[in-house]
């Protein structure tokens, strides 16, 4: 394990702040890169890490720009920005260093592809960790232990660096599985994430939302099968096998405060839906088909974000009508 490794968390939102806080608590060298308001609050009062077992004030370094970090070849970057910010973040990072390894702690399946255009060492990470960031200087971790991760080289394989990074994460409380087949897990997580839009738009849970979520996922599943793309849902192996044909569960990811919900709640002006439901639309276009349900969710989420509208604009029945269901 590299003794001089510094972990630079680029994108100190919910997941980035929580991971950084847990790592710092057990003595690892961490730097957060975040938005000015969040960084200012951390500098003045520390990061308030709220967990199921208590609240911790974490005094860790935080900056607003990667040019304030001072990179060395042994450093690794945990890329935690939303998909719509990936290109800009990588462009800024690559202007400072070409030598660091980049671990994509992000939803979607396109970020690793973009990162590989800038850096030689890219790793995919499938994240299952309930975290909420709504207030500058504070992140809420809803789980204890804090979450589970699946990690591997992109596009496939494993190496010693992945093992070293996994060791640091495990020491801070995370469960980490190393796999040579990371992308099936990322597609499996995308299968759950595309329902984030339903819950963000309606701001509710229940049977009506579960039915809508099932329809959204079935549309994606059918496209994956046609494209011959393998996926693995959480808890499934992702070895050399064909994609499953069983329907994805309606409650694969029952957390209502998803990253999409949080973005709309914070009225940031953008959401990562282009890298979630938009990925379904993109795959359909490659196959010469359409994905009308995911197209509709993408359109509505982008409009709500652009208008800075909070979650709950439509009821489940209104959403069904808008989607033509």
pLDDT 10s digits, 252-299: 344 447 888 888 998 988 889 999 999 999 999 999 999 999 999 999
Strands 76-79 and 47-51: unpaired
Cα separations in angstroms, 198 against 19, 203, 277, 300: 27, 8, 11, 10
Strands 30-33 and 7-10: parallel
Quick one: pLDDT band at residue 184, thresholds 50, 70, 90?
Answer: very high
Cα separations in angstroms, 313 against 77, 227, 297, 316: 37, 34, 13, 10
State the pLDDT at residue 248.
Answer: 46
**What letter would DSSP give residue 68?**
G
What kind and span of H or E run contains 30?
A: strand 30-33
pLDDT 10s digits, 105-161: 999 999 999 999 999 999 999 999 989 999 999 999 998 899 999 999 999 999 999
Contact of 198 with 297, CB cutoff 8 Å: yes
Distance CA 71, CA 4 (A): 11
pLDDT at 41 > cutoff 70: yes
Question: If you search the block for the tokens 């991971």, which residue do you land on?
Answer: 19
Distance CA 225, CA 207 (A): 27
Of residues 86, 291, 88, 286, the one with CA closest to residue 194: 291
Distance CA 325, CA 323 (A): 6
Mean pLDDT score of the chain, rounded to an integer?
A: 92
State the pLDDT at residue 241.
Answer: 39
Which residues sit opposite 54 in a β-bridge?
Answer: 51
Cα separations in angstroms, 308 against 2, 28, 112, 152, 268: 44, 37, 29, 36, 7
Phi, psi of 72 (to 5 degrees): -125, 160
Contact of 47 with 60, CB cutoff 8 Å: yes
State the pLDDT at residue 270.
Answer: 86
Question: If you search the block for the tokens 């592809």, which residue do you land on?
Answer: 113
């Amino acid at each position: 394990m590299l003794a001089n490794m510094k972990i630079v968390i680029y994108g100190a939102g919910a997941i980035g702040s929580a991971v950084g806080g847990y790592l710092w608590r057990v003595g690892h060298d961490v730097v957060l890169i975040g938005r000015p308001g969040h960084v200012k609050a951390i500098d003045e009062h520390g990061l308030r890490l709220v967990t199921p077992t208590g609240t911790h004030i974490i005094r860790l370094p935080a900056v607003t720009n990667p040019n304030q970090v001072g990179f060395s070849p042994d450093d690794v970057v945990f890329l935690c920005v939303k998909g719509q910010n990936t290109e800009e973040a990588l462009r800024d990072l690559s202007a400072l260093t070409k030598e660091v390894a980049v671990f994509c702690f992000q939803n979607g399946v396109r970020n690793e592809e973009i990162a590989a255009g800038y850096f030689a060492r890219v790793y995919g990470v499938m994240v299952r960790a309930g975290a909420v960031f709504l207030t500058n200087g504070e992140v809420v971790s809803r789980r204890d232990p804090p979450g589970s991760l699946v990690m591997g080289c992109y596009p496939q394989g494993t190496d010693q660096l992945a093992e070293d990074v996994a060791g640091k994460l495990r020491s801070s409380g995370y469960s980490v599985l190393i796999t040579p087949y990371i992308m099936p897990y990322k597609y499996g997580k995308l299968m759950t994430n595309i329902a984030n839009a339903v819950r963000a738009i309606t701001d509710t849970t229940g049977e009506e939302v579960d039915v809508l979520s099932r329809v959204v996922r079935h549309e994606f599943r059918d496209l994956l099968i046609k494209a011959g793309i393998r996926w693995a849902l959480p808890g499934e192996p992702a070895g050399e096998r064909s994609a499953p044909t069983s329907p994805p569960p309606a409650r694969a990811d029952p957390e209502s405060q998803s990253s999409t919900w949080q973005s709309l709640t914070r009225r940031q002006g953008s959401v990562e839906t282009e890298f979630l439901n938009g990925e379904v639309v993109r795959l359909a276009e490659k196959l010469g088909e359409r994905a009308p349900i995911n197209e509709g969710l993408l359109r509505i989420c982008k409009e709500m974000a652009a208008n800075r509208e909070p979650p709950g604009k439509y009821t489940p029945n209104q959403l069904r009508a808008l989607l033509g269901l």
